[in-house]
Protein backbone atom coordinates (compact mmCIF):
# COMPACT_ATOMS: atom_id res chain seq x y z
CA UNK A 1 0.00 0.00 0.00
CA UNK A 2 1.17 3.50 -0.66
CA UNK A 3 0.43 7.18 -0.28
CA UNK A 4 0.77 9.63 -3.15
CA UNK A 5 2.30 13.08 -2.90
CA UNK A 6 1.78 15.44 -5.81
CA UNK A 7 4.21 18.28 -5.27
CA UNK A 8 3.79 21.54 -7.21
CA UNK A 9 3.22 19.82 -10.54
CA UNK A 10 3.12 22.12 -13.57
CA UNK A 11 2.25 21.03 -17.11
CA UNK A 12 2.59 23.27 -20.12
CA UNK A 13 1.55 22.44 -23.67
CA UNK A 14 3.43 25.07 -25.68
CA UNK A 15 2.31 28.36 -24.16
CA UNK A 16 -0.81 26.86 -22.60
CA UNK A 17 -0.54 26.08 -18.91
CA UNK A 18 -2.74 23.03 -18.36
CA UNK A 19 -1.71 22.59 -14.71
CA UNK A 20 -0.51 25.41 -12.49
CA UNK A 21 1.46 24.20 -9.47
CA UNK A 22 -0.93 21.51 -8.34
CA UNK A 23 -0.20 19.94 -4.97
CA UNK A 24 -2.20 17.14 -3.39
CA UNK A 25 -1.54 14.39 -0.89
CA UNK A 26 -3.51 11.17 -1.05
CA UNK A 27 -3.21 9.02 2.06
CA UNK A 28 -2.60 5.29 2.05
CA UNK A 29 -5.83 3.48 1.22
CA UNK A 30 -7.71 6.69 0.56
CA UNK A 31 -10.11 7.26 -2.34
CA UNK A 32 -9.73 10.73 -3.82
CA UNK A 33 -11.82 11.99 -6.72
CA UNK A 34 -10.49 14.64 -9.09
CA UNK A 35 -13.67 16.45 -10.07
CA UNK A 36 -14.04 19.22 -12.60
CA UNK A 37 -15.42 20.25 -15.96
CA UNK A 38 -13.75 19.11 -19.17
CA UNK A 39 -10.50 20.95 -19.84
CA UNK A 40 -9.76 21.61 -16.16
CA UNK A 41 -6.61 19.45 -16.24
CA UNK A 42 -7.86 16.49 -14.20
CA UNK A 43 -7.07 13.86 -16.82
CA UNK A 44 -3.68 15.48 -17.52
CA UNK A 45 -2.87 15.26 -13.80
CA UNK A 46 -3.89 11.60 -13.70
CA UNK A 47 -1.78 10.81 -16.77
CA UNK A 48 1.20 12.54 -15.15
CA UNK A 49 0.75 10.41 -12.02
CA UNK A 50 0.61 7.34 -14.27
CA UNK A 51 3.71 8.44 -16.18
CA UNK A 52 1.94 8.55 -19.53
CA UNK A 53 2.57 12.29 -19.62
CA UNK A 54 5.65 14.14 -18.37
CA UNK A 55 5.25 17.08 -16.03
CA UNK A 56 6.98 20.35 -16.94
CA UNK A 57 8.07 20.72 -13.33
CA UNK A 58 7.19 19.31 -9.94
CA UNK A 59 7.40 15.86 -8.37
CA UNK A 60 5.28 12.77 -7.94
CA UNK A 61 6.12 10.64 -4.90
CA UNK A 62 4.44 7.25 -4.47
CA UNK A 63 5.00 5.33 -1.24
CA UNK A 64 8.01 7.48 -0.38
CA UNK A 65 9.71 6.92 -3.73
CA UNK A 66 10.15 9.78 -6.18
CA UNK A 67 8.71 8.36 -9.42
CA UNK A 68 8.73 11.64 -11.38
CA UNK A 69 11.11 10.30 -14.00
CA UNK A 70 10.20 6.61 -13.92
CA UNK A 71 8.47 4.74 -16.75
CA UNK A 72 4.81 3.86 -16.05
CA UNK A 73 5.63 0.18 -15.59
CA UNK A 74 8.06 0.98 -12.77
CA UNK A 75 5.57 3.01 -10.72
CA UNK A 76 3.68 0.06 -9.24
CA UNK A 77 0.23 1.19 -10.26
CA UNK A 78 -2.74 0.04 -12.27
CA UNK A 79 -5.17 2.06 -14.33
CA UNK A 80 -8.69 1.84 -15.70
CA UNK A 81 -9.18 3.82 -18.89
CA UNK A 82 -12.23 5.77 -20.00
CA UNK A 83 -12.84 3.52 -23.00
CA UNK A 84 -11.63 0.49 -20.97
CA UNK A 85 -8.72 -0.34 -23.34
CA UNK A 86 -9.51 -4.03 -22.95
CA UNK A 87 -7.32 -5.86 -25.49
CA UNK A 88 -9.65 -7.09 -28.27
CA UNK A 89 -7.38 -9.92 -29.41
CA UNK A 90 -7.16 -11.58 -26.01
CA UNK A 91 -9.78 -13.50 -24.08
CA UNK A 92 -11.16 -12.02 -20.88
CA UNK A 93 -8.88 -14.39 -18.94
CA UNK A 94 -5.77 -13.22 -20.79
CA UNK A 95 -6.84 -9.59 -20.36
CA UNK A 96 -7.18 -9.97 -16.61
CA UNK A 97 -3.95 -11.98 -16.53
CA UNK A 98 -1.97 -9.45 -18.58
CA UNK A 99 -0.31 -7.63 -15.68
CA UNK A 100 0.55 -10.92 -13.95
CA UNK A 101 2.05 -12.32 -17.15
CA UNK A 102 4.21 -9.22 -17.44
CA UNK A 103 5.40 -9.87 -13.89
CA UNK A 104 6.28 -13.42 -15.04
CA UNK A 105 4.04 -14.94 -12.39
CA UNK A 106 3.70 -18.75 -12.17
CA UNK A 107 0.76 -20.19 -14.09
CA UNK A 108 -0.92 -21.46 -10.90
CA UNK A 109 -0.60 -18.03 -9.32
CA UNK A 110 -1.94 -16.34 -12.46
CA UNK A 111 -4.93 -18.65 -12.44
CA UNK A 112 -5.62 -18.09 -8.76
CA UNK A 113 -5.39 -14.31 -8.95
CA UNK A 114 -7.38 -14.02 -12.18
CA UNK A 115 -10.13 -16.16 -10.71
CA UNK A 116 -10.22 -14.09 -7.55
CA UNK A 117 -10.42 -10.80 -9.47
CA UNK A 118 -13.05 -12.30 -11.78
CA UNK A 119 -15.13 -13.43 -8.81
CA UNK A 120 -14.88 -9.98 -7.26
CA UNK A 121 -16.26 -8.37 -10.43
CA UNK A 122 -18.69 -11.22 -11.26
CA UNK A 123 -17.14 -12.04 -14.64
CA UNK A 124 -16.23 -15.69 -13.96
CA UNK A 125 -18.65 -16.96 -16.58
CA UNK A 126 -17.08 -15.08 -19.50
CA UNK A 127 -13.39 -15.70 -18.89
CA UNK A 128 -12.97 -17.58 -22.17
CA UNK A 129 -14.85 -15.04 -24.29
CA UNK A 130 -13.44 -12.20 -26.36
CA UNK A 131 -14.26 -8.61 -25.33
CA UNK A 132 -16.17 -7.92 -28.56
CA UNK A 133 -18.82 -10.35 -27.32
CA UNK A 134 -19.33 -8.37 -24.10
CA UNK A 135 -21.54 -5.39 -23.29
CA UNK A 136 -20.05 -2.07 -22.19
CA UNK A 137 -20.73 -2.83 -18.55
CA UNK A 138 -19.08 -6.23 -18.78
CA UNK A 139 -16.01 -4.77 -20.51
CA UNK A 140 -15.84 -2.22 -17.74
CA UNK A 141 -15.74 -5.05 -15.20
CA UNK A 142 -12.94 -6.73 -17.17
CA UNK A 143 -10.94 -3.48 -17.12
CA UNK A 144 -11.38 -3.17 -13.35
CA UNK A 145 -10.57 -6.85 -12.81
CA UNK A 146 -7.40 -6.48 -14.90
CA UNK A 147 -6.36 -3.58 -12.68
CA UNK A 148 -7.16 -5.35 -9.39
CA UNK A 149 -5.57 -8.67 -10.43
CA UNK A 150 -2.08 -7.24 -10.02
CA UNK A 151 -2.98 -6.09 -6.49
CA UNK A 152 -1.65 -2.60 -7.17
CA UNK A 153 -0.54 -0.21 -4.45
CA UNK A 154 -2.20 2.59 -6.41
CA UNK A 155 -5.21 2.47 -8.69
CA UNK A 156 -5.92 5.25 -11.16
CA UNK A 157 -9.30 5.54 -12.84
CA UNK A 158 -10.07 7.89 -15.71
CA UNK A 159 -13.83 8.46 -16.01
CA UNK A 160 -14.40 4.70 -15.94
CA UNK A 161 -18.19 4.91 -15.84
CA UNK A 162 -18.78 7.69 -18.36
CA UNK A 163 -19.47 5.35 -21.28
CA UNK A 164 -22.19 3.43 -19.45
CA UNK A 165 -25.89 4.23 -19.49
CA UNK A 166 -27.37 5.91 -16.45
CA UNK A 167 -28.83 2.84 -14.76
CA UNK A 168 -25.71 0.72 -15.25
CA UNK A 169 -23.56 3.59 -14.04
CA UNK A 170 -25.48 3.72 -10.76
CA UNK A 171 -25.14 -0.04 -10.33
CA UNK A 172 -21.41 -0.10 -11.16
CA UNK A 173 -20.79 2.86 -8.87
CA UNK A 174 -22.20 1.04 -5.88
CA UNK A 175 -20.33 -2.12 -6.74
CA UNK A 176 -17.06 -0.32 -7.36
CA UNK A 177 -17.25 1.29 -3.95
CA UNK A 178 -17.80 -2.07 -2.25
CA UNK A 179 -15.00 -3.77 -4.24
CA UNK A 180 -12.45 -1.02 -3.65
CA UNK A 181 -13.30 -0.76 0.04
CA UNK A 182 -12.51 -4.44 0.35
CA UNK A 183 -9.27 -4.14 -1.62
CA UNK A 184 -8.11 -1.13 0.39
CA UNK A 185 -6.23 0.30 -2.60
CA UNK A 186 -5.15 3.93 -2.73
CA UNK A 187 -7.31 5.27 -5.53
CA UNK A 188 -7.42 8.42 -7.62
CA UNK A 189 -10.58 8.69 -9.64
CA UNK A 190 -11.13 11.29 -12.36
CA UNK A 191 -14.69 12.31 -13.12
CA UNK A 192 -16.79 15.23 -14.26
CA UNK A 193 -19.84 13.71 -12.60
CA UNK A 194 -20.38 15.18 -9.16
CA UNK A 195 -22.70 12.41 -8.00
CA UNK A 196 -20.00 9.84 -8.77
CA UNK A 197 -17.42 11.86 -6.87
CA UNK A 198 -19.74 12.48 -3.92
CA UNK A 199 -20.85 8.86 -3.75
CA UNK A 200 -17.46 7.20 -4.09
CA UNK A 201 -14.76 9.41 -2.67
CA UNK A 202 -13.37 9.87 0.82
CA UNK A 203 -12.19 13.28 -0.35
CA UNK A 204 -12.86 15.31 -3.49
CA UNK A 205 -10.41 17.67 -5.15
CA UNK A 206 -12.41 20.11 -7.26
CA UNK A 207 -10.31 21.31 -10.20
CA UNK A 208 -10.88 24.35 -12.34
CA UNK A 209 -8.62 26.07 -14.85
CA UNK A 210 -5.59 23.90 -14.07
CA UNK A 211 -5.81 24.44 -10.30
CA UNK A 212 -7.36 22.64 -7.38
CA UNK A 213 -10.02 25.01 -6.02
CA UNK A 214 -10.86 22.96 -2.97
CA UNK A 215 -10.01 19.65 -1.34
CA UNK A 216 -12.31 18.17 1.25
CA UNK A 217 -14.80 15.52 2.16
CA UNK A 218 -17.93 15.43 0.00
CA UNK A 219 -19.95 17.02 2.80
CA UNK A 220 -17.44 19.82 3.38
CA UNK A 221 -17.31 20.64 -0.30
CA UNK A 222 -21.05 20.64 -0.54
CA UNK A 223 -21.79 22.64 2.60
CA UNK A 224 -18.87 25.07 2.59
CA UNK A 225 -17.61 25.67 -0.95
CA UNK A 226 -14.33 27.58 -1.05
CA UNK A 227 -15.10 29.42 -4.28
CA UNK A 228 -18.05 30.50 -6.38
CA UNK A 229 -17.00 27.88 -8.94
CA UNK A 230 -17.15 25.01 -6.44
CA UNK A 231 -20.56 26.13 -5.17
CA UNK A 232 -21.91 26.39 -8.68
CA UNK A 233 -20.37 23.12 -9.87
CA UNK A 234 -21.42 20.91 -6.98
CA UNK A 235 -25.03 20.28 -6.15
CA UNK A 236 -28.14 19.99 -8.25
CA UNK A 237 -29.54 22.55 -8.71
CA UNK A 238 -26.31 24.53 -8.40
CA UNK A 239 -25.84 27.00 -5.58
CA UNK A 240 -27.58 30.37 -6.13
CA UNK A 241 -25.48 33.53 -5.96
CA UNK A 242 -27.38 36.70 -5.08
CA UNK A 243 -25.54 40.03 -5.07
CA UNK A 244 -26.36 41.91 -1.88
CA UNK A 245 -25.22 45.03 -0.07
CA UNK A 246 -23.66 44.35 3.31
CA UNK A 247 -23.79 47.32 5.65
CA UNK A 248 -22.98 47.21 9.35
CA UNK A 249 -22.93 43.45 9.34
CA UNK A 250 -26.41 43.05 7.90
CA UNK A 251 -27.58 42.26 4.41
CA UNK A 252 -31.17 43.20 3.57
CA UNK A 253 -33.20 41.47 0.89
CA UNK A 254 -36.85 42.50 0.93
CA UNK A 255 -37.91 42.48 4.54
CA UNK A 256 -35.39 39.79 5.46
CA UNK A 257 -32.11 40.58 7.18
CA UNK A 258 -29.15 38.23 7.29
CA UNK A 259 -25.98 38.72 9.32
CA UNK A 260 -23.12 39.14 6.84
CA UNK A 261 -19.34 39.46 7.15
CA UNK A 262 -18.55 43.14 6.72
CA UNK A 263 -15.12 42.60 5.20
CA UNK A 264 -16.12 43.68 1.75
CA UNK A 265 -18.85 45.80 0.28
CA UNK A 266 -19.49 43.74 -2.85
CA UNK A 267 -20.53 40.35 -1.64
CA UNK A 268 -22.76 37.56 -2.83
CA UNK A 269 -25.06 35.35 -0.88
CA UNK A 270 -24.40 31.72 -1.77
CA UNK A 271 -27.61 29.85 -1.10
CA UNK A 272 -28.36 26.20 -1.83
CA UNK A 273 -31.83 25.61 -3.24
CA UNK A 274 -32.61 23.06 -0.55
CA UNK A 275 -31.43 25.29 2.31
CA UNK A 276 -34.29 27.75 1.81
CA UNK A 277 -37.83 26.94 2.91
CA UNK A 278 -41.14 28.55 2.06
CA UNK A 279 -42.31 30.69 4.96
CA UNK A 280 -45.96 30.05 5.92
CA UNK A 281 -46.87 33.74 6.02
CA UNK A 282 -44.96 34.99 2.97
CA UNK A 283 -42.36 36.83 5.04
CA UNK A 284 -38.60 36.56 4.49
CA UNK A 285 -36.66 36.79 1.22
CA UNK A 286 -39.10 37.52 -1.64
CA UNK A 287 -38.90 34.92 -4.44
CA UNK A 288 -40.83 35.40 -7.70
CA UNK A 289 -41.63 31.98 -9.15
CA UNK A 290 -41.42 31.74 -12.93
CA UNK A 291 -41.46 27.97 -13.53
CA UNK A 292 -42.54 25.06 -11.33
CA UNK A 293 -41.09 21.64 -12.21
CA UNK A 294 -42.41 18.65 -10.25
CA UNK A 295 -39.47 16.23 -9.95
CA UNK A 296 -41.27 13.57 -7.94
CA UNK A 297 -39.19 13.74 -4.79
CA UNK A 298 -39.37 17.54 -4.77
CA UNK A 299 -40.53 20.60 -6.66
CA UNK A 300 -37.88 22.57 -8.52
CA UNK A 301 -38.83 26.26 -8.53
CA UNK A 302 -37.06 28.61 -10.92
CA UNK A 303 -37.53 32.31 -10.49
CA UNK A 304 -35.77 35.38 -9.19
CA UNK A 305 -34.68 36.93 -5.93
CA UNK A 306 -34.25 40.68 -6.11
CA UNK A 307 -34.20 40.46 -9.92
CA UNK A 308 -31.44 37.79 -9.92
CA UNK A 309 -32.28 34.30 -11.11
CA UNK A 310 -32.38 31.52 -8.54
CA UNK A 311 -33.52 27.93 -8.14
CA UNK A 312 -35.20 26.71 -4.99
CA UNK A 313 -36.19 23.21 -3.95
CA UNK A 314 -39.60 22.85 -2.27
CA UNK A 315 -41.47 19.85 -0.81
CA UNK A 316 -43.44 17.93 -3.46
CA UNK A 317 -46.77 18.84 -1.95
CA UNK A 318 -46.12 22.60 -1.61
CA UNK A 319 -48.97 24.71 -2.99
CA UNK A 320 -47.16 27.12 -5.31
CA UNK A 321 -47.85 28.38 -8.79
CA UNK A 322 -45.87 30.08 -11.52
CA UNK A 323 -46.17 33.86 -11.30
CA UNK A 324 -46.61 33.77 -7.52
CA UNK A 325 -44.38 35.64 -5.07
CA UNK A 326 -43.43 33.63 -1.99
CA UNK A 327 -41.23 34.29 1.01
CA UNK A 328 -38.17 32.22 1.84
CA UNK A 329 -36.65 31.64 5.24
CA UNK A 330 -32.98 30.81 5.43
CA UNK A 331 -30.83 29.39 8.24
CA UNK A 332 -27.96 31.93 8.47
CA UNK A 333 -25.51 29.16 9.45
CA UNK A 334 -26.09 27.35 6.16
CA UNK A 335 -25.29 30.14 3.76
CA UNK A 336 -21.95 30.92 2.10
CA UNK A 337 -20.71 34.47 1.62
CA UNK A 338 -18.64 35.06 -1.49
CA UNK A 339 -16.38 38.01 -2.26
CA UNK A 340 -17.72 39.26 -5.61
CA UNK A 341 -14.30 40.34 -6.82
CA UNK A 342 -12.11 37.36 -5.93
CA UNK A 343 -14.87 34.76 -6.21
CA UNK A 344 -13.61 33.19 -2.98
CA UNK A 345 -15.67 32.40 0.09
CA UNK A 346 -15.34 34.78 2.99
CA UNK A 347 -14.40 32.75 6.02
Find the shortest distance in angstroms from Cβ 78 to other proteins: 7
> Between 105 and 198, whose beta carbon lies closer to other proteins?
105
Give me the residues that bind other proteins (CB under 8 A), please: 50, 52, 71-73, 77-79, 81, 83, 85, 87-89, 98-99, 102-103, 129-130, 132-133, 146, 150
> Between 130 and 288, whose beta carbon lies closer to other proteins?
130
Give one DSSP letter per residue of 22-41, joined into a string. Answer: EEEEE-TT-EEEEE--TTSS
- Spatial distance between the Cα atoms of 323 and 294, rounded to a whole number of angstroms: 16
Find the shortest distance in angstroms from Cβ 104 to other proteins: 9
Give one DSSP letter per residue of 137-199, joined into a string. Answer: HHHHHHHHHHHHHT--SEEEEESTTTTS-HHHHHHHHHHHHHHHHHHT-EEEEEES-HHHHHH
Find the shortest distance in angstroms from Cβ 107 to other proteins: 17
Find the shortest distance in angstroms from Cβ 105 to other proteins: 11
> Between 98 and 233, whose beta carbon lies closer to other proteins?
98
Say what angle helices 136-149 and 166-183 make with each other, to 10 degrees. Answer: 10
Cα 104-68-150 angle, rounded to 5 deg: 25
Find the shortest distance in angstroms from Cβ 7 to other proteins: 22
Residue 49, preceding bond cis, omega within 30 degrees? no
> Between 52 and 223, whose beta carbon lies closer to other proteins?
52
> Between 80 and 215, whose beta carbon lies closer to other proteins?
80
Amino acid sequence: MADIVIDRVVKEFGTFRALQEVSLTVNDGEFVALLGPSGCGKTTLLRIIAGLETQTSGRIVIGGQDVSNLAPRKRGLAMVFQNYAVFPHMTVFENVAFGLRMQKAQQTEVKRKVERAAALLHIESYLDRYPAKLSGGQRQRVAVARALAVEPAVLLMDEPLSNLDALLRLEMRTELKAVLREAGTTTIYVTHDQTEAMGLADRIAVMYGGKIDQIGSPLEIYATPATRFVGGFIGSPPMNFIKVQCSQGTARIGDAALPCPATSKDIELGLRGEDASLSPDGSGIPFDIRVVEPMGSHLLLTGSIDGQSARIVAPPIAKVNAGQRVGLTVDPTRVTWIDSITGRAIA
